[in-house]
Structure 1
């Protein structure tokens, strides 16, 4: 390890940008860039992630000085991947720098991919859901612009799920209806449409029982296969139980459904919110 540190120190001193700026030939700057990359990879081998990230950032800046935009973006991505292991905020800065370069180059699909990576850091490391939503939305916009509708829908579904959790139900409903409508005529994806209409209905239900009834009717008319789905039948049972303020019937309908088709955490959360609107109910779903 001491030997590596000595090599690192020597490399970093020898690639001082001020030193290379004294030379008129671009080959010296290219040499500096190469040495920063070597240093970064050696730092990675030693699992010194901050130092690796900083070295990759220096390489990225030199690449930009040489007008090597693609190489600059790649180095910023390498820096971001290193910083992800030690400093999420620095990782985001580097990834955003790469995204700016890719969008300037018109590489929107790859920019979208890295917006997703940023969103995931906000989700898992920084727990800033609002910012995660913003990056998923930006990724979806870029994917749509490139006609990558399936990838766009995956991003939108993340936005819809988080919007509902944050009680932004109108936004969630709009997304689930949009994705459901775009998939119901696709032979390979139409099976998923019932799930999206089910989720939209749950969001309607939390806001207002009548809204939910009207929404279910609309989805049945739009997508006749929804009428025969277990999700639609559950919704109708829940609407009846809710109208009668029958907490027991509400719970039994959910238990019956869950015994065959397991409810996920998001669905369980939404159903619990609906159940709590039944007068006097403070209990669990099961």
Structure 2
């Protein structure tokens, strides 16, 4: 049975010997460049052997060595590709190292003016902060940066997908005004598209809930704007629920509020984001009642 870990180590050793042979005066005369190319190939073969052996740190480091050699030859695209390969390995054992590799990749693609590709890697970093490192502030930062890059490249649909992530986490962190503004912006852009028009309803629904977390009067005014911009929203179950919730908040009717949410949820199940915001609103009603 092949020991892929040992095989990877052998490739590494061979790569290092190639590099030693490419340095100095004689190396520069007798094919130093080709020796570097051979070393790159050996580092990549070492990395792939380490991947098979599930030696993720070693694989990531070997890909980084190959990437650095490409940079010495001014091959930014190839270096960027290898840093992504390194990041995928490091992600399994050290997410922080994975982020660093992707940040290096982003720098290279920015230098090349490849902002759409850079945006894609910002999303990858955001996903690592979202799932592995659980740092929502940095999650939002990288989704926002990706959205900005996509917007600059006129990739509106991709920008909106990133903005919706920003809105999602902004609301969960209590920044309801920012979240509502984003949902409204995305909803209005959807209205302009025949294919996306129907999805505007959910974005307005989420925006309205964010407003409701701030103040029911604020929400009532926003709701009027949504109905003017998108008349089909008026007869939707989402709009009717928000209208009912506003009235229940005005009446301080906690039971009625709960019943309205349960009735909606029984037909259209609410995800954890909605549940989180609705719980906050309910607790604010309960808190107001306790102060009476």
The answer to whether residue 122 in structure 2 is matched with residue 129 in structure 1 is no
The answer to whether residue 152 in structure 2 is matched with residue 145 in structure 1 is yes
Distance 2:75 2:282 in 1: 58
Distance 1:267 1:162 in 2: 12
Shift, 1:28, TM fit: 1.2
Please state whether the residue corresponding to 1:236 is helix, strand or coil: helix
The answer to whether residue 108 in structure 2 is matched with residue 101 in structure 1 is yes
1:59 aligns with one of 63, 66, 72: 66
Shift, 1:103, TM fit: 1.3
Q: Gaps (5+ residues) in structure 2?
A: none
Distance 2:173 2:117 in 1: 29
Query: Could you tell me the TM-score, scaled by structure 1's length?
Result: 0.94
Q: Gaps (5+ residues) in structure 1?
A: none
2:23 aligns with one of 21, 24, 29: 21
Please state whether the residue corresponding to 1:60 is helix, strand or coil: helix
1:233-284 Cα deviation digits (max 9, x unpaired):
00110000100000111111111111111111101111111111114589xx
Structure 1 match to 2:9: 9
Distance 1:207 1:268 in 2: 16
1:49 aligns with one of 49, 53, 56: 56
Shift, 1:30, TM fit: 1.1
Contact 2:56 2:90 in 1 (8 A): yes
1:190–1:101 distance in 2 versus 1, CA, 3 Å:
same
Distance 2:288 2:237 in 1: 25
1:139-186 Cα deviation digits (max 9, x unpaired):
111111121111111110011000000001111011111101100121
Structure 1 match to 2:124: 117
Shift, 1:2, TM fit: 8.1
1:200 aligns with one of 201, 204, 207: 207
156-165 vs 102-111, greater mean Cα deviation: 102-111
Distance 1:4 1:169 in 2: 52
1:113-145 Cα deviation digits (max 9, x unpaired):
111111111111000011111110111111111
Distance 1:4 1:276 in 2: 58
Query: Could you tell me the TM-score, scaled by structure 2's length?
Result: 0.92
Structure 2 match to 1:252: 259
Contact 2:5 2:49 in 1 (8 A): no
Distance 1:237 1:76 in 2: 53
Structure 2 match to 1:213: 220
The answer to whether residue 263 in structure 2 is matched with residue 226 in structure 1 is no
Distance 1:263 1:206 in 2: 17
Distance 2:21 2:243 in 1: 74
1:5–1:201 distance in 2 versus 1, CA, 3 Å:
closer
